[in-house]
């Protein structure tokens, strides 16, 4: 065999393969035409039922989603209202705390206020209420003042 004969053999083999493929395609086409597309009535009824079930399920899903969205909107509205109420209460409590605080907020001024109120005859409980301090703090300040006066 020569090298010139090899391409010719390759072309011949390709042509044979081409014709074989065409032949098989024609046979398959003829078989498909022979078979009519007969749809089984039971299968068709089952398919229709399946489609109806799918539609019902989709409608139920949409209805559920709409209800969920409404509930979510209502919950968001309630939360917004509660947030506004909470902000109002915080601001109100802050302003009340400011009103309740004595004018002198540093330690020295509080110490002096406790001593003045004690001199006026208020009880430790009353001073604690007026100055927004605990009774223990009042006692401590009074004890410190007594010690200071004893040492002086």
The reported pLDDT for the residue numbered 108 is 76
**pLDDT tens by residue, the chain, 152 residues:** 577 777 888 888 899 999 999 999 999 888 877 765 666 788 888 889 999 999 999 999 999 999 989 998 999 999 999 999 999 988 888 887 776 665 545 667 888 889 999 999 989 898 888 888 899 999 999 999 898 888 86
Q: What's the per-residue H, E or C state across the chain?
A: CCCCHHHHHHHHHHHHHHHHHHHHHHHHHHHHHHCCCCCCHHHHHHHHHHHHHHHHHHHHHHHHHHHHHHHHHHHHHHHHHHHHHHHHHHHHHHHHHHHHCCCCCCHHHHHHHHHHHHHCCCCHHHHHHHHCCCHHHHHHHHHHHHHHHHHC
Q: What is the pTM of this model?
A: 0.36
């Amino acid at each position: 065999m020569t090298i010139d004969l090899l391409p010719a053999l390759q072309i011949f083999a390709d042509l044979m393969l081409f014709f074989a493929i065409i032949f098989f395609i024609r046979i398959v086409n003829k078989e498909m035409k022979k078979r009519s597309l007969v749809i089984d009535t039971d299968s068709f009824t089952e398919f229709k039922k399946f489609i109806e079930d799918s539609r019902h399920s989709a409608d139920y899903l949409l209805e559920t989603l709409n209800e969920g969205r409404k509930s979510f909107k209502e919950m968001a509205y309630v939360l917004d209202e509660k947030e506004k109420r909470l902000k109002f209460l915080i601001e109100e409590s802050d302003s009340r705390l400011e009103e309740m605080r004595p004018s002198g907020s540093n330690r020295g001024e509080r110490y002096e206020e406790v001593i003045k109120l004690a001199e006026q005859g208020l009880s430790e409980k009353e001073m604690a209420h007026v100055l927004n301090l605990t009774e223990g703090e009042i006692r401590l300040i009074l004890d410190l003042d007594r010690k200071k006066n004893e040492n002086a």
